Structure 1
Amino acid sequence: MRIGAHAGVHSEQGALRGEHPGRSRSPVIKVHDLAWLEFEKPDLAAAEIFAHAFGFQTVTRTADELQLRGANAGAPCVLIRRGTQTRFRGIAFTAHDDLDVYTLAEAHGAPTSPLPKSLGGVSVQLADPGGIPVKVVAGLHPLPELPTQLPHEFNFGRQVSRINTTQRPPRTAAVVQRLGHVVMQSSKYLEALNWYLDNLGLIVSDFLYFPGQRGRGPTMSFIRCDRGSVPADHHTLALALGPANRYVHSAYQVTDLDALAAGGEYLCAQGYFRSWGIGRHIQGSQIFDYWRDPDGFLVEHFADGDVFDNSLEPGWAPFTASGLAQWGPPATADFLGTSPKHARHEVVSMITGLREKNEFDVKRLIGLLKVATS
């Protein structure tokens, strides 16, 4: 028996009786959005060159830190600090106000601390069950809005509005407008999912399950902010079960398909590597284009994503490579992590994951391996 108010709206399948509801009954707070992502990299110069080609603008550049922003008003969306190795250092979410930060801190017995003067505001530092650092922040100094690429005027079949003018989108860097979402892998997927729902008030838009394993529960979730009747991105955070606790990719909004495609041509001309694209996703509907930065991190340009208010219940679907896109080229080995250059790392990760006490067991490994070929 299917239940859920979404039936026939955004997903072919709804929840079965007794399945995960996709939201907490009484969350500690409800975060408003993503603030930024934090990284460490040895070469800030190379990181900044790629960032400009990808479409970011520099806020601050010192010998030890690089702050990058999109064109929308708000905080920097990527913070990169100099380090001896390349690694992901955590996620920051914005709370509605300082009181929410203090409420969350009190619930966890954690101290609050002022953010650097360049950012302003207050934060509390936590960690999810997989050990991923999670900040919640409020009271930031907002950066002013910057110019962005204007959407084109289109002729749609019999609906003609563009007359005596041409379309000539320039092959320049696509202007990043904002940070849209981050995708994480967790060996403690269900525990981590419940942590984000219970503490940050996030709600699930769509669940995926390994082929043939729905009875064991979901293994990926696309999770949005709960802003009540105000629509939010289909997913701000996506969380997947896997052998390690790690960053998978992050996504940054651009104006439209022309900006995304022309920006991709520009990145190609600069010698950067396209991982997968261009296509349109199913969960979230975004037009996407994935790239590898010089340090191997996967980053996405996206446009035309879904937005949901809090009235829609989760959809359910099998987790398959072919089910990741409505149209576009097949998901690549690089994107799926099955290419030869990733093979050794992935094998070591799987062996390590199976040895540790977590949710990733042999049956889940078999399900994960089926994803890439299904």
Structure 2
Amino acid sequence: MTAIGGYVAPTASSDEFGIHSLDQFVLAVPDVNAADDFYTNFGLNMVRKGNTLQLKTFGHEHAWGSVIEGKAKALHHLSFGCYAEDIDRLKKRIEGQGIKLIDPPPGFESNGFWFRNHEGILMEVKVAPKVSPDQKAVSEWNTVGPGQAAATTRAASPAVRPRRLSHVLIFTADVLKSIEFYERTLGLRLSDRASDLVAFMHGIHGSDHHLLALVKSSAPGFHHCSWDVSSINDIGLGAMRMHDKGYQKGWGLGRHVLGSNYFHYVMDPWGSFAEYSCDIDYIPKDDRWPSADHKPEDSFYLWGPDVPREFTLNREAGEA
């Protein structure tokens, strides 16, 4: 296992310890060029690094995600960032749960340690700068006064540029067991859940309402990555552009209940989704969010179109 050394990170301001960020997600797909086309049109800055395609946002050097080539689309691993003073404590806590640490997969450098979760998903915890936000993201609600036109023509509309990764949602065969796993290993906290169908978890050092979300399925897998944009107008423009580029399946425009964000999801070439998200709830590091168990039929979305069937399918589990 690669040793940790030569890395100075910010310090935590809390006696509690846990990861502070979802550093990146990594997908394996059968055609990296298809991923390049999809995420480029989505508004991300795609950077090739060897055999890896990095998902960056414009004006930000951090790689929020990566795509590698594989036989079939699959969630390769999730990487979480922590403060330097927490890495050893997290390692001991995870090993104390009887979880075996493993070597990094070929082609991946490590500034931390690796293991598999209770369902076999590969995970990394590493020392890294905090990339989850330290305050609620500013959203734009611009309008103009009388005698002025607020909208541009379609031809003059600006490109949509997501600002950062907000969260990922993954499938799990047991939502309640997964909540317990991430609480006792990574130090995540439950924000809200809806029965045993879906749950949302946040970081203890300040994060969006959820940096990791869980949804019930027959097996683990990747459902969507969510990207923060500055306005509902950006959501609409992004959805229009993706439709014009041939990515016409998805769900939105709507507003969620748990997290409160406005959304539009676009289906990728492998049956999972990328979400434009705006104005999600924020949980400061000193707050205790009043987590609750909500009725599923009353907490999925506040308004929006009917949920398409394909939105619920776990393609990695062979659902069709």
User: What TM-score results when the alignment is normalised by the length of structure 2?
Assistant: 0.80
Give the corresponding residue for 1:106: 92
Counterpart of 1:166 in structure 2 is: 150
Cα distance in 2 between the residues matched to 1:36 and 1:116: 17
Q: 1:163 Cα shift?
A: 6.5
Q: Counterpart of 1:326 in structure 2: which amino acid?
A: L
Residue of structure 2 equivalent to 1:53: 41
Residue number in structure 1 paired with 2:169: 183
Map of 1:369 onto structure 2 = none
1:83 to 49, 62, 70: 70
1:133 equivalenced with 2:122 (yes/no): yes
Task: Kindly report structure 1 stretches of 4+ aligned residues shifted beyond 6 Å.
Answer: 112-117
Q: Distance in 2 between matches of 1:345 and 1:85?
A: 11
Q: 1:68-113 deviations in whole A, cap 9, x for unaligned?
A: 1123645201111122222111211111x23322322233446697
Q: Which residue of 1 aligns with 2:235?
A: 260
Q: Is the 8 A contact 2:18 2:90 kept in 1?
A: no
Quote the RMSD (CA, aligned, Å): 3.2
- Is the CA contact 1:181–1:252 (under 8 Å) kept in the aligned structure 2? yes
Letter in 1 for 2:223: V
Rg larger in 1 or in 2?
1
Q: Deviations over 1:271-323 (max 9, x none)?
A: 11331111111111111011111222211111111112332220221123x64
Instruction: Say if 2:20 is the partner of 1:32.
Output: yes
Matched residue type, 2:85: L
Which of 268, 284, 290 aligns to 1:313? It is: 290
Counterpart-to-counterpart distance in 2, 1:72 and 1:103: 34
Q: Is the 8 A contact 2:104 2:114 kept in 1?
A: no
Amino acid at match of 1:195: F
Q: Which amino acid aligns with 1:167?
A: A
2:274 matched residue in structure 1:
299
1:336 aligned to 2:312?
A: yes
Distance 1:139 1:33 in 2: 9
Q: What 5-or-longer segments of structure 1 have no aligned partner?
A: 1-26, 143-149, 210-217, 348-374
> Residue 319 of structure 2 corresponds to which residue in structure 1?
346
State the partner residue of 2:302.
326
CA shift in 2, pair 1:173/1:48, >3 Å: farther
Asked if 2 retains the 8 angstrom alpha-carbon contact of 1:249 and 1:299, the reply is yes
Q: Decide whether the 8 Å contact of 1:181 with 1:238 is kept in 2.
A: yes
Q: How many residues align?
A: 291
SS in 2 for 1:317: coil
SS in 2 for 1:263: helix
SS of alignment partner, residue 302 of structure 2? strand
Question: Secondary structure in 1 aligned to 2:89?
Answer: helix
Q: Does the Cα contact within 8 Å between 1:221 and 1:240 map onto a contact in 2?
A: yes
Query: What is the one-letter code of the residue matched to 2:78?
Result: I
Change in Cα spacing, 1:41 to 1:183, as seen in structure 2 (3 Å) is same
Which structure 2 segments of 5+ residues have no match?
A: 1-14, 132-138
Corresponding residue for residue 58 of structure 2: 71
2:74 and 2:221 in contact (8 A); partners too: no
Give deviations 1:115-145, integer Å, cap 9, x for gaps: 999x987121122211122211224699xxx
CA contact (8 A) 2:102 2:115 kept: no
Deviation by residue 1:12-33 (Cα, 9 ceiling, x = unmatched): xxxxxxxxxxxxxxx9831111
Amino acid at match of 1:226: I
CA distance, structure 1, for counterparts of residue 238 and residue 198 of structure 2: 30
Q: Does 1:280 align with 2:255?
A: yes
Query: 2:124 and 2:47 mapped to 1: Cα distance?
Result: 20
